[in-house]
A and B are shown apart, each in its own frame.
Chain A
Amino acid sequence: MTNPLLARFIPEARELLQVSASGLLKLERNPTDETAINEVFRAVHTIKGSSGLFDAVALTRLVHAAEDLLGEVRSDALQIDSSLVDMLLDSLDQVGQWIDELERRSALPTDADGVAHRMAAQLRQRLGAQDQDDVPDDAPADGAPQGADPAPDGDVATLPPGFLARLSAPACLDAFRRACGGQAVHLVRYAPEPGCFFNGTDPLQAIQQVPGALALDIAAAEPWGPLEDLDPYQCNLHFSLLTAAPRPEIEQAMRYELDQIIIAPVRPRDLVRIEGEPSDGPIWDDFREAASAFLAAGRHDDLRKAVGALRSVAGPTLWRRQALDWLEAALSAAQPDPALVAALVAAAGSGRFDPAPAAPAPAAPAPAPAPQPAPQAADPRQELARSVLASQHRALEQAGYDADRLASVGTVVGNVLLSLGRDADRIAIQAAFEAAREARSVAPVLSALSAVLDGAPLHRTEAAPALPDALPPAFEEAAPVAGAKEPEGRIAPKSLKVDQAKIDLLMNLIGELVVSKNALPFLAKRAEETYASREMSREIKEQYAVIDRLAQEMQGAIMQVRMLPVSEIFDRFPRLVRDLARKLGKRIDLALEGEDTAADKTIIEALGDPLLHIVRNSLDHGLESPDERRAAGKSATARILLKAREEADSVVIEVQDNGRGIDPVRIRAAAIAKGVIGQEEADRLSDQEAINLIYRPGFSTAAEISDLSGRGVGMDVVLTTVEKLGGQVSVSSRLGEGTTTRLALPLSMAVTRIMIVEAAGSLYGVPMDMIVETVRVPRERIRMIKKAETFVLRETIIPLLRLSRLLHLPDQPRGEADAAVLVCHVNGRRVGLIIDNFREGMDVILKPLEGVLTGLGGYAGTTLLGDGRVLLVLDLRELL
């Protein structure tokens, strides 16, 4: 994706889609929530506005339909209900998919037009149904009114020739692109009854009701006779409209005129109209040769490239270059029509267009290889100036005399004339403004403006300025204009959107700083030991303290930047719970609390899946159906509460439901049946311990795993994920009253505090959060139970393991009287790790193992020591 504007649009659109979806859910619960409807409307409106900047007509069309519907809801013309919310959510989902597609391929899929038509028509039907009470709910989906005969099917070839020929070439090219893209393009031929004016029909008005208009041609039905004989009340007009609307929409719009219209589908080849100046030269011959070869070989991609290359060098006014435009459009189809492509290749090569002989198209207009004088030579700049001045005239006329109002009109008129270099007119107009102020009347200005408007075209006194065709292509990637970025007096923006990667870089740099800082104590030690300079050593330590504090503050600051509110994940749930509840036939009220609680983005992002699993599990197994609940004397609507809060250095997230709770008896039975535990162990377990069994691998209480709580993955995945993040899971439940699952995670995981230990002659890091305590155990207190070494610590037997053996390294027997033991809490139990020696603790930034090391089990990652050595940090959970 090279278009920076599109790159900006994609995240904006996603954010707005999210806003819309959550707003819609609020509205569903409270249809009179004015804030919510305004929020949704504006979000959808903004997507529509911005999407118009890109080649995404289908997306804009669908969003537009949604916006219209929301507009009706906003003005209370339409009542929002669940089916409407469903429809709108589906449409927004579709838009979301298209946004993904735009991100991947910078273009919408080829079926987008069709999909947009279908969905927009559904939305619009809802719009129409509201003011047509007589239309029954099961009215045919095509929207054609019942009882009316459908408009006759036409064939472009059978229509009198020339209708298409009168349409402008750009309009035809536009229609051609759509037709090649699989969109239906229709020609609507409308011949109003001569007496139609008498029944109140304005045919000009009627034909404009047809959506998707691409071009309209108006013509006299019969040649105009002498003016004396003209009957102004007999309609003598015929209309031909080229539209991208599907047939049902056309019929709906023209439902009172169905007997006077013919709707003809238009094939791409019917639309081909090439204009421009003749040209010749070897490049065209080369192109013909190469293109014919590619065409013969079916190498459309190469043909596209050849067309693109030649288009970029050929003058845009040339006939053959125009032929390339058509060819490019024809090639953009998912399945280009070979005959059409061949005809267009021949046209670009020869300078003449012959409609494909395989399927003659009589209505195709004759080629126009000769140069054509531009029929409208009007300078757009002049036209625009005229339009601006006319607007000032109209505004003043409507507002009447208003000194305040006159001021800006004066500026605008003066500026327009200044811009056009019409100094004489400017002075005259300025005088008129003075006169207006004196007379307290707009009349002098109005007449001066009329004079300018009615008079000679607004030409500049010297050479007329050419339209800025040198204006660089607006959306290409290019350096911003220097000097336009930092004007004086610029107000600092209140917030800034920063690329995630830049934050990560900053994070890594600060990590490096922390590590470099850790080199200072080593240096202090060397100063004292090697250079015998206590003084120097103390100064280094003082400096270290300062740098340490600054580094910590910096780290804290950048952590703050990385903090995301849990609403990032909570916001998905209203939609999810709603959809699942409908699917399961349960009534569920979801409440969110503490959405503002923030945690590091890694935590937040990783939390999504476990939370999803817990909520799905609750929906699936925990919450009862309305009938079941009523029978149990509970309210029919169940409740799930998602609650987040900060607790010390943790973020705690709870999922509470008021469902049936977990039955420890059933859990025990199920665990035994599944072979998770034996009968004896089951009997020993307390109820709470029994409940905890649901986190054992391979456990699932439901007789069968539903598709909702997913693909045979048990709650053990939740536990694994959360523990990997350094968090804890606990569940509490009261039978018949509900279940609460509690996740506690560190607020930030960027920095890991480790202890350095020695084993088998090397240094290793052990995460501090695993270490319970460090003890020195006299040799004689190490006992052998069976074949395992143990020792007793405060009346608890603690199994002992030797780190060197775990790492498959040779033991280095040491003659010391006691062993250094690291008591760790791993996988829910305590173990003693015999090491050679304890070293200092430090904060490190863990880097995951890279390259061939990735597959190595037992290591959490590596970190750089102050003296430049790489330290392996152990993952005790895997190692033990």
Chain B
Amino acid sequence: MSGKRILVVEDGITMRMFYQDVLGRAGFVVEEAANGVEGLEKVLLGGFDLMIVDINMPKMDGYELVSRIRREPSLQAIPVVTISTEAKDADASRAYAVGANFYIVKPADPVLLVETARLLTGAQA
């Protein structure tokens, strides 16, 4: 049990459940937000070790959310993984440019997802 807290920002209900399931079993505490605005509200409350952000979302998309996070002094240090169905270089570059730390293509392999979360939060296997 790592007890590390992850905020998943994703508009798809099924995908949120997938993250809860996979990351929850690996000992992470997973919280959810259904869009960028909700994600920003939650992450501002603090206490998260990692954010996993979907790119294509209503209200505020992933790029916008990440760039806003990076403008918040209290959130500059939080690792952010962006996740998208697009395997295009341009999308990944844009995510890195706005401040993401890693880019994963959906649907993520559960093992890869757990390992990524462990590495980025400093949790032990």
Contacts and interface: CB of A to CB of B under 8 A. Distances in A.
A509 B28 CA distance: 38
A455 interface: no
Contacts of A468: 26, 111, 114-115, 125
Q: Which of B57, B78, B103, B115 counts the most chain A CB atoms within 10 A?
A: B115
Contacts of A52: 85, 106-107
Contacts of B11: 42, 46
B21 A475 contact: yes
Interface string B75-102: 0111110000100000001001101111
B31 A50 contact: no
Interface residues of B, number: 59
A269 B28 CA distance: 44
A471 B120 contact: no
Given A8-B14, A53-B107, A394 B5 contact: no
A531 B89 CA distance: 87
B47 A9 contact: no
Contact of A49 (B71, B85, B93, B122): B85
B32 to A, nearest CB: 8
B14 A384 contact: no
Interface stretch (A140-148, A405-413, A696-704): A405-413
Given A52-B85, A395-B96, A404 B76 contact: yes
Contact of A408 (B30, B78, B93, B118): B78
The range of chain A's interface size is: 35 or more
Contacts of A8: 13-14, 17
Given A380-B115, A467-B111, 10 more contacts: A46-B56, A49-B56, A52-B107, A380-B112, A404-B70, A404-B99, A408-B76, A415-B122, A484-B27, A491-B31
A408 B124 contact: no
Closest 5 CB pairs of A and B: A415-B122, A52-B107, A418-B122, A407-B76, A50-B14
Interface in A418-469: 418-421, 465-468
Point out which of B18, B24, B106, B121 has the most chain A C-beta atoms below 10 A from its C-beta. B18
Contacts of B24: 480-481, 484-485
A758 to B, nearest CB: 55
B17 A4 contact: yes
A686 interface: no
A409 B97 contact: no
Contacts of B14: 5, 8-9, 12-13, 50, 53
Interface string B1-44: 10001000001111101101110111111110000000000100
A419 B85 contact: no
A481 B119 contact: no
30 contacts: A4-B17, A5-B17, A42-B56, A45-B56, A46-B15, A49-B54, A49-B56, A49-B85, A50-B12, A50-B15, A53-B14, A381-B119, A384-B116, A388-B101, A391-B96, A395-B101, A398-B96, A404-B71, A408-B80, A411-B77, A411-B78, A416-B119, A419-B122, A419-B124, A474-B18, A474-B22, A484-B29, A485-B24, A487-B5, A491-B42
A480 B21 CA distance: 7
A475 B100 CA distance: 28
Main secondary structure of the interface of A (DSSP, over half): helix
A412 B56 contact: no
B101 A471 contact: no
A45 B123 CA distance: 32
Given A12-B13, A474-B25, A481-B24, A407 B77 contact: yes
Nearest to A399: B97
A405 B116 contact: no
A415 B96 contact: no
Contacts of A408: 70, 76-80, 99, 101
Nearest to B71: A404
B119 A415 contact: yes
B120 A416 contact: yes
A49 B106 contact: yes
A410 B101 CA distance: 10
A489 B25 CA distance: 20
A537 to B, nearest CB: 54
B76 to A, nearest CB: 4
A472 B25 contact: yes
B12 A490 contact: no
A471 B119 contact: no
B116 A391 contact: no
Interface of B: 1, 5, 11-15, 17-18, 20-22, 24-31, 42, 45, 47, 54, 56-58, 70-71, 76-80, 85, 93, 96-97, 99-103, 106-107, 110-112, 114-116, 118-125
A391 B104 CA distance: 11
A385 interface: yes
A412 B79 contact: yes
A215 B77 CA distance: 40
A475 B20 CA distance: 11
Interface in A478-497: 480-481, 483-485, 487, 489-491, 497
Contacts of B99: 404-405, 408
B120 A45 contact: no
Contact of A471 (B12, B106, B110): B110
A471 B26 CA distance: 7
B111 to A, nearest CB: 6
B101 A53 contact: no
A394 B95 CA distance: 12
A72 to B, nearest CB: 15
B115 A381 contact: yes
Contacts of B21: 4-5, 474-475, 480
Contacts of A46: 11-12, 15, 56
Nearest to A474: B110
Most buried by B among A391, A418, A474, A489: A474
A827 to B, nearest CB: 47
B20 to A, nearest CB: 8
A703 B89 CA distance: 64
Contact of B77 (A380, A410, A418, A475): A410
Contacts of B111: 380, 467-468, 471
A656 interface: no
Interface in A32-48: 38-39, 42, 45-46, 48
A737 to B, nearest CB: 43
Contacts of B25: 471-472, 474, 481, 484
A414 interface: yes
A252 interface: no
B122 A414 contact: yes
Contacts of B58: 38-39, 42
Contacts of A472: 25
A870 B98 CA distance: 69
